[in-house]
A and B are shown apart, each in its own frame.
Chain A
Amino acid sequence: MVEATGVSGYEGSVGKVIHEVFAAQTDQVTTDTLGNVISLKRGEGENRAKVMLAAHMDEIGLMVTKIEEKGFLRFISIGGVDQRTLVAQEVRVHGRRDLIGVIGMKPPHLLTPEDADKAIKMEDMVIDLGLTEEEVKAVVAVGDLVTVNRNLIPLSGDFVAAKALDDRAAVAAIYHCLSELCRMRHTADVYAVATVQEEVGSRGALVSAYHVQPDIGIAIDVCHGEMPGVPEQYTAPLGKGPSVALGANIHPKVYERLTELAKEHNIPFAIDPIPGPTGTDAWTMQVTRAGIPTGLVSIPLRYMHTSVETLSINDIKLTGRLLAYFVASVDRKFVEGLLCY
């Protein structure tokens, strides 16, 4: 999934990959008007509760704004891109066909000392495709998408680095949840949804939650993993299980159930207190239709929004397991209790 392309608003390619994966594990899969991939795995019995699991499949990226003389490309960002992570980066320009390019920079031999002290601005960068202007224009047009050319990098143990682990790691967690559920009894219907356009404003979750109309919506996203230079209070350790959020965006009973189940099944987790907006699909799901009780489970990830996002595969699996236990625990009674404050 992380090697597929799906910049916000253009999730088609990665959507196809996810559609296939979900199709193997669920009873039906559809893709809605905006591109959300919505699958349903039915529970047992009648009068079933509906749980929606949402993870966004879009990634941040770049868009071509101009083809310069000699075929160099100017670009802007889609989603929150730190311009400093783009320097000397190899990219993939998604034109009529994919082209490899380089966001180049002046060699140090030609730099003045003052130059070297300043971050290079995105507006001063260009993508070099190594082609003539005519060759470029035959393949690339203004509006084409650009992503960093990065394959998954296996690191020590179960750690991996890649682009777009935010938030395809969470789609993978849903995959694990569905696999677990194949071996478990559950009465609730599960809607596994890979949402679009989260990075530009959580738009996919909004319309897919409207469509699914779940009794409970759980967003699965990534949170900041511990790293030097970031206060510990904003981060969670890697390899020690998911973070379970609480705060205004989270229904207290959903939080309670998630953490109780984690304790019961010896799934390590961290508590992630978020007073205001969570910046995730949970934020929009919560105010869909007449209001939806929401939860948020996050996978700790370092270097968010760079092309070397790093996390523990085991955290993904633990997240999937916790979600499976949660789904299996949901019944009508629990859903009705969510209205009793």
Chain B
Amino acid sequence: MLLKRLSEAFGPSGYEGEVRDLLTQELETCVSNWRRDALGNLIAVKTGTRGPKVMLAAHMDECGLMISFIDKSGLLRFRKVGGLDDRILVSKHVVIGSKRVAGVIGAKAIHLQKPAERNQVISLNDLYIDIGAKSKEEAEKMVKLGDYAVFATEFGYLSDTAVKGKSFDDRAGCAVLAEVLREDYAFTLYGAFTVQEEIGLRGAGVAAYALEPDFAVVLEGTTCNDVPGSEEHGYSTTMGGGPAITVMDASVVSDRRLVGELERLARENNIPVQYKRSITGGSDAGRINQTKGGIPVVVVSVPCRYIHSPVSMLSLRDFDHTIQLIKLFLRSVEGGFML
């Protein structure tokens, strides 16, 4: 399953090579040609003969860690890549570099703590990765400063419809985009697999600049907090509630005409959809929207619980419905939908 392979691929922001290679291989027969740029964006070009130029974008990068210091005892200090909550790091298995050197982030034994400590967040400065090296020299044989680390999480099925894995933000979007690219369309379609979204929406802007699409759809795995302890108005999205359409987030206001068309298609084809009901957090859409003289965009997301943590969760129904909705949208463009 492509989603599984994408989820398990190693690709923190700035080091997306493994994801890029996987997608290139997977879509080899489906694209007219590939474009790559100076930042590492991978663009699948499907050349058409009529109609507008449409850009679909999904980011390949994921949050992770970067090794910043190796101490005398062989333990590795690190910095965060992207928006990770310090509290999720403790007691986890990580892999470093594309050779996947195994490491763990430990914590002081509960026996050695004062009771009050258990209510305090362990600061990033007190955390480190243990790869079992006994000295700096031994560690340096396996790891270099600047190497990246990601969580070592296996993809898995929780039921027929629910799956878990790392980095569904945004490998779910990448998988949706890949599925959509397997079909052919009459207009020119750019499938942009972008880099560096998690550290400031860096890749999408330069890709859009080069491609100059008439409009764009950003595909995401987005926040979903429909869990106990959260009020219903704070859910953002609901797992199983269908693809989430962003009307507005911290980075962009979606084009109302694109939102309207997606809603119409969903309604007429009995696809459940929902609005994303939080406006915190940005997306590649923000950059694309402000590129050159302005590009209309909309964001469609697969709701994912526990993003930016070692293990996220999504509903395959939502995932499939997202693919279906985007395909319908592209057929509608083919049929004459214009802005």
Contact = CB atoms under 8 A, between A and B. Distances in A.
Interface of A: 68-70, 72, 80-90, 99-102, 104-111, 116-121, 124, 126, 128-131, 135, 148, 150, 153-161, 224, 226-230, 234, 238-239, 279, 302-310
A97 to B, nearest CB: 12
28 contacts: A82-B110, A84-B90, A88-B92, A88-B311, A101-B158, A105-B87, A105-B306, A107-B308, A120-B87, A126-B227, A148-B91, A155-B104, A155-B130, A157-B132, A157-B133, A157-B134, A161-B104, A161-B130, A227-B106, A228-B75, A228-B126, A230-B108, A302-B106, A302-B130, A303-B107, A308-B92, A308-B105, A309-B106
A158 to B, nearest CB: 8
Contact of A118 (B92, B119, B305): B119
Contact of B118 (A83, A135, A306, A308): A83
Contact of B309 (A88, A118, A159): A88
A303 B106 CA distance: 5
A135 B110 contact: no
A308 B103 CA distance: 9
Contacts of B86: 116
B104 A106 contact: no
A224 B230 contact: no
Nearest to B280: A109
Contact of B142 (A68, A119, A156, A238): A156
B71 to A, nearest CB: 8
A109 B278 contact: yes
A259 B85 CA distance: 47
Contacts of B234: 110
Contact of A116 (B85, B138, B164): B85
Contacts of A90: 153, 164, 310-311
B236 interface: yes
Given A88-B311, A100-B164, A107-B225, A304 B104 contact: no
B265 interface: no
A333 B35 CA distance: 84
Contacts of B75: 228
B81 to A, nearest CB: 13
B158 A104 contact: no
Contacts of A302: 106, 130
B114 interface: no
B159 interface: yes
A90 B306 CA distance: 11
A70 B311 CA distance: 20
Contacts of A83: 118
A287 B223 CA distance: 56
A243 to B, nearest CB: 15
B117 to A, nearest CB: 9
A103 B305 CA distance: 11
Nearest to B169: A107
A277 to B, nearest CB: 12
B84 interface: yes
A297 B142 CA distance: 33
The B interface is mostly helix, strand or loop, or mixed, namely loop
Contacts of B148: none
Contact of A108 (B84, B112, B162, B230): B84
Given A155-B132, A156-B132, A108 B308 contact: yes
Interface string B100-133: 0111111111111100001111100010101111
B311 to A, nearest CB: 5
B159 A156 contact: no
Contacts of A99: 158
Given A82-B107, A305-B111, A130 B307 contact: no
Interface of B: 71, 73, 75, 83-88, 90-93, 101-113, 118-122, 126, 128, 130-134, 138-139, 142, 152-153, 156, 158-159, 162-164, 223, 225, 227-230, 234, 236, 239, 278, 280-281, 305-311, 313, 315
B309 A81 contact: no
A56 B204 CA distance: 55
Given A119-B118, A308-B106, A130 B112 contact: no
7 shortest interchain CB distances as A-B pairs: A155-B132, A159-B132, A303-B106, A130-B162, A130-B158, A304-B109, A308-B104
B105 to A, nearest CB: 7
Contact of A310 (B108, B132, B230, B305): B132
Contacts of B308: 107-109
Contact of A89 (B91, B163, B278): B91
B121 A119 contact: yes
Contacts of A128: 227, 305-306, 313
Given A126-B228, A228-B75, A306-B107, A109 B306 contact: no
Which has the most chain A C-beta neighbours within 10 Å: B131, B152, B223, B311? B311
Contacts of B130: 155, 161, 302-303, 308, 310
Nearest to A237: B134
B227 A72 contact: yes
Nearest to B120: A119
A304 B111 contact: yes
Given A82-B113, A110-B234, A310-B106, 19 more contacts: A69-B228, A83-B118, A84-B121, A102-B164, A102-B305, A106-B225, A109-B236, A110-B225, A126-B229, A130-B162, A130-B164, A148-B91, A156-B139, A157-B132, A228-B71, A228-B75, A306-B90, A310-B130, A310-B132
